[in-house]
Structure 1
Amino acid sequence: VARGGVDDIIGVLQARDVVQALIEGRPLDLAALARPAPVLPDVIDAVDALSALRDASIPMALVHDEYGHFEGIVTPSDVLAAIAGAFRSDVDDHDDPPAVERDDGSWLIAGALPVDELAHRLGMPLAQERDYETVAGLALDKLRHLPQTGERFRIGDWQFEIVDMDGRKIDKLLISRVSDGPMVLP
């Protein structure tokens, strides 16, 4: 719940508090129902974030940058995934293998595939300092917007094409080795 914009957040609503107010017939005052959430700097390490979340009255923290601008939220699940990686139960792979090499040497890759695994398979170097862990994150980092099916980008000798979107999630990419010629965008 915020006043006017995300830089003036009052707190976080929990569905059970809203439902309880409705059952009791109380007026729905969102500001009064909002619970305060801890505010964490965007540079906090995972252990300190987990400690702050453990002590919070709600399982969520607000993340702000050095200028006090709201950057997003973090939950215990987010922190655990950052430490331990994605859990199998969180990956929607429908029994499809995450990486399939095709006869022509191209790869059909799940967006949820860890980017380190992709780099190993393709022999592609990656920056050590990066803000993503999956191939979908790599695509978002390169494109700088939510792509549409058919969009392409290039990294070195590899062309990446978004071949399947599942709503706003990059589900599948086709990755092909290309010659040194210029890449043609759709």
Structure 2
Amino acid sequence: MSDDTPSPSSWSMRGLKRWLSTAPETRDELISLVQQSRQFLEPDTVDMLEGVLDLPATQVREIMTPRPQVIGLHESTSLAEVMDIILETTHSRYPVFDSQDDDAVIGILLAKDLIPLLVHMVRDEDDKINSKRLKDLVRQPLYISETARSDTLLRSLQRTQVHMAVVVDEFGNFAGIVTMEDLLEEIVGDIVDEHDDFDEDSDINNIVVHPEKPNTWLVQASTVIEDCNDELGSHFDDTDVDTMGGLVMQTLGHVGDLEGESIKIDDWQITVTDVEGRSIHNLELTKTDPDKQLLIGSH
């Protein structure tokens, strides 16, 4: 090949420059432009660009950890109990609630802020530990509405230099928590660290085919209804609730002994298979009329 022959990459760059010669005038045109850019850019790059553009259209409630799944602390919890909880759950931040009001978050505890106390423990300076209260260690919380846009949340986290916000509903009640990691996952996809249980915590595996039962799927209760609809071709209503567990709770109308409870919605039989306390963890979804089943996995 002659040195004067253009390389494939240079052809792509020339095509990209011509393609971008007309600037998009609306957000929809920009999104369409990004989607068409797969002929020039790596798929992962296009996915990230789409994630960034989707932030203004994504509400905080869609990416937050809802209240039933939040692991929090109370200001009356002893520091020894706090350390046990941290060792068990391995989170880096915890909301701390007022002992008299479960809707009142007094602050955020960073696990690293306990390191000086651990040093005192090693030095047997127990008097310094006992004089400390949990409320003395928490940091001022950032509050955000569950209906706020995700790009607004991003700017707030950047401005206040914090990585976790407390989400409140329209009445000011505690609705959940949202983190910088939640925002990043909207852009780059699931981030699995060394403490994550990939099979249980990752959204990648929250809907799996049942290994033994036909036309049946195992679904985590925390699965967003829209994701379930996309994956299974179902049409579950997400007007009032966001997750599959919330849909089951809403339909049942009670919070008693839920394990083994079963409901039918459209052509789906939904059975509660795993419960801890009042929280539903796992569900079993069976298509009762396979002949009407839509093509699975086509989205």
TM range (shorter): 0.5 to 0.7
When structure 1 is superposed on structure 2, of 89-98 and 6-15 the one drifting more is 89-98
The two structures have a TM-score, normalised by structure 2, of 0.46
CA distance in 1, matches of 2:103, 2:264: 36
1:110 matched residue in structure 2: 219
Q: Deviations over 1:90-148 (max 9, x none)?
A: 65169897135977x53133326664464356653233645425x44543453454874
Larger radius of gyration: 2
1:58 matched residue in structure 2: 162
Percent identity (aligned) = 23
Whether 1:173 and 2:290 are equivalent positions in the alignment is no
2:34 matched residue in structure 1: none
Q: Which has the higher helix share?
A: 2
Paired residue for 2:248, among 136, 139, 145?
139
Q: Where do residues 1-186 of structure 1 align in structure 2 (5 Å cutoff)? A: 1=96, 2=98, 4-24=100-120, 25=125, 26=128, 27-81=131-185, 83=186, 87=190, 89=192, 91-92=198-199, 98-100=208-210, 106-111=215-220, 115-116=225-226, 118-119=228-229, 123-127=233-237, 129=239, 131-132=241-242, 135-136=244-245, 138-143=247-252, 145=255, 148-163=258-273, 165=274, 167=276, 168=279, 170-177=281-288
The answer as to whether partners of 1:140 and 1:146 remain within 8 angstroms in 2 is no
CA distance in 1, matches of 2:257, 2:151: 33
Q: What RMSD, in angstroms, separates the aligned Cα atoms of the two structures?
A: 3.8
Runs of 4+ aligned structure 1 residues displaced above 6 Å come to 94-97
* Matching residue's letter, 1:177: T
Q: Deviations over 1:29-82 (max 9, x none)?
A: 32222110111122211111122223334321112233332222221233344x
CA distance in 1, matches of 2:135, 2:223: 40
- Secondary structure at 2:108's aligned position in 1? coil
CA distance in 1, matches of 2:257, 2:162: 34
Point out where structure 2 has 5 or more consecutive residues left out of the alignment.
Answer: 1-95, 290-299
* Matching residue's letter, 2:199: D
For this pair of structures, how many residues does the alignment match?
Answer: 174
How far apart are residue 3 of structure 1 and its match? 5.6
- Secondary structure at 2:259's aligned position in 1? coil
The two structures have a TM-score, normalised by structure 1, of 0.67
